[in-house]
Amino acid sequence: IKASDLVDEAFTRINEVDDKVKAFLTLNEDQAKAEARKLDEQALTSDALLAGMPIGLKDNLVTKGLKTTCASRILENYDPIYDATVVEKVRAEQAITIGKLNMDEFAMGSSTENSAYAKTRNPWDTDRVPGGSSGGSAAAVAAGEVLFALGTDTGGSIRQPSAFCGVVGMKPTYGRVSRFGVVAFASSLDQVGPITRTVEDNAYLLEAISGLDAHDSTSANVAVPNYAKALTGEIKGLRVAIPKEYLGEGIDAAVKDQIKAAIRQLEALGAECEEVSLPHSQYAVPAYYIIASSEASANLARFDGVRYGVRADTNDLIEMYKKSRSEGFGDEVKRRIMLGTFALSSGYYDAYYKKAQQARTLIKQDFEKVLENHDIIVGPTTPTPAFKVGELIDDPLTMYANDLLTIPVNLAGVPAISVPCGLADGMPVGLQMIGRPFGEETLYRAAYAYEQ
Ligand code: GLN
């Protein structure tokens, strides 16, 4: 195969469907085609993990010379002068960047409706959302525009859209992948990860982006396995925990049916399934919204009209800050900044932020306890299949509740994968598998055995 053919095919497909799907914000067509030609001339290196593969990148991963907006007005003209480490890494493995993918503004949302530029549609049913915040990434893969995409996951933003679009998405262990060049939302939770059609492709892409990075002090000095080697199809004796909270109230009946069928299938493959409890699950959503918003309020202070992006046209300094931020940020981003600033203000810190951190510790301990005696935890990725465009946009609390089953994983820092698991209501359901810290191999092994 020639890289040029793969890249041409990606753009042909994008021209066919992206008017409807609206997954891409920026295309890198000339550059991608030139790179493909160059690769073809030098002949693809056979041991490159992603030789000649077209890839789409979420628009919060900075790309040198390629506009990076975070789907925000405030970065509408931001042209980074460097590549994120994950971008350098996929490039080193000879992947070719096709373009930048739509998302909720600054990764805040669950439907990609918070983008300042476009509403991405679910390729399975264009009246429905693709999920979010990596909705462009999941939709592009589901629509066959690219086979590889990168997303980020702070509270579910890789897994939830992957579930809604019927593709495979992995949120790695916190620290597995460098965050250098990832526009920060909530630094203690953010992680980059792969979105692909198959578990095998996912394993290759995670291998490509993982590893210690001198530019990110939170990246872990843990050897990067050859994840594809774990794909044996063999899971006999795998100890699987099923949290009762994940199949309880508030979970759609048709979703539950699919998950139960998946559990029976894992049992048929020789896994030993046992019901367990994660008793502090109910505190995850409120704790997350305090912690994530607090971190966001600090991280987004850098967008002041001076250092990055759009500057309002006025000579008064304070007026300029105010105007740049008022005009540059959308409603959801403002809501989070206000919530976070409030939670961190003196007099409220102990009541909100500190309490949320205490809840986070209890949630983390729930996972540690269960994972002492079990290899993985299994449940749904989301309580429902994809909802309709516009259905929840005026109801932030119900929108937040969509991440009920994904958020605890980020708070605990453990890895989790979402794999397609049948249909409910004609729409894809996601099976979530949660692992031990740096237990991505076991997740891939189980996901692959299930997928076969
Ligand atoms: N939907 C969640 C939020 O709005 C998670 C987003 C994410 O993981 N980036 O914060």
**CA pair distance 318, 160, nearest whole angstrom:** 39
CA 407 to ligand 1: nearest atom: 5
For 225, other C-beta atoms within 10 Å of its C-beta total: 16
The answer, yes or no, to whether any atom of ligand 1 lies below 6 A from the CB of 190, is no
Is the beta carbon of 157 within 6 A of some atom in ligand 1? yes
286's CB contacts (< 8 A; 6+ apart) are: 356, 359
- Does residue 154 have its Cβ closer than 6 Å to ligand 1? yes
Q: Name the CA radius of gyration of the chain, rounded.
A: 21
Substitution site in 59, 101, 133, 337 for ligand 1 pocket (most atoms within 8 Å of beta carbon): 133
- Measured at the alpha carbon of residue 212, what is the angle toward residues 158 and 105, in degrees to the nearest 5? 30
- Known catalytic residues? 58, 133, 157
pLDDT at 47: 84
Distance CA 132, CA 111 (A): 4
Structure tokens at 432: 């979530």
Q: What is the mean pLDDT of each run of 10 residues along the chain (452 residues)?
A: 96 98 98 96 81 97 98 96 98 97 98 98 98 98 98 98 98 98 98 98 98 98 98 98 95 97 98 98 97 98 92 94 97 97 92 96 98 98 97 91 96 98 97 98 98 94
Q: What backbone torsions phi and psi does residue 205 show, to the nearest 5 degrees?
A: -70, -35
Pick from 72, 113, 114, 157 the residue to mutate for probing ligand 1's pocket: most ligand atoms within 8 Å of its CB: 157
Q: What is the pLDDT of residue 42?
A: 85
Strand partners, 100: 26, 57
**Cα angle, residue 281 at apex, residues 276 and 284 outer, rounded to 5°:** 155
Beta strand pairing status for 96-101 and 168-171?
unpaired
pLDDT score for 45? 67
The per-residue pLDDT for 346 is 85
* Helix (H) or strand (E) segment spanning residue 272: strand 272-276
* Cβ of 178 below 6 Å from ligand 1: no
Q: State the pairing for strand pair 191-196/168-171.
A: antiparallel
Residue 240 DSSP one-character state: E
**244-to-159, 279, 291, 378, 412 alpha-carbon distances in Å:** 20, 9, 26, 10, 18
Q: Are 209 and 58 contacting, i.e. CB atoms less than 8 angstroms apart?
A: no
pTM, two decimal places = 0.98
Which residues of 301-394 form beta strands (DSSP E)? Answer: 376-380
State which of 60, 392, 403, 405 you would mutate to test the pocket of ligand 1, scoring each by most atoms of that ligand within 8 A of its C-beta: 403
**According to the model, what pLDDT value does residue 309 have?**
86
Cα-Cα-Cα-Cα dihedral sign, residues 308, 309, 315, 320: negative
Instruction: Give the integer Cα–Cα distance in Å for 369 and 329.
Output: 41
Tokens representing 344 are 């961190």
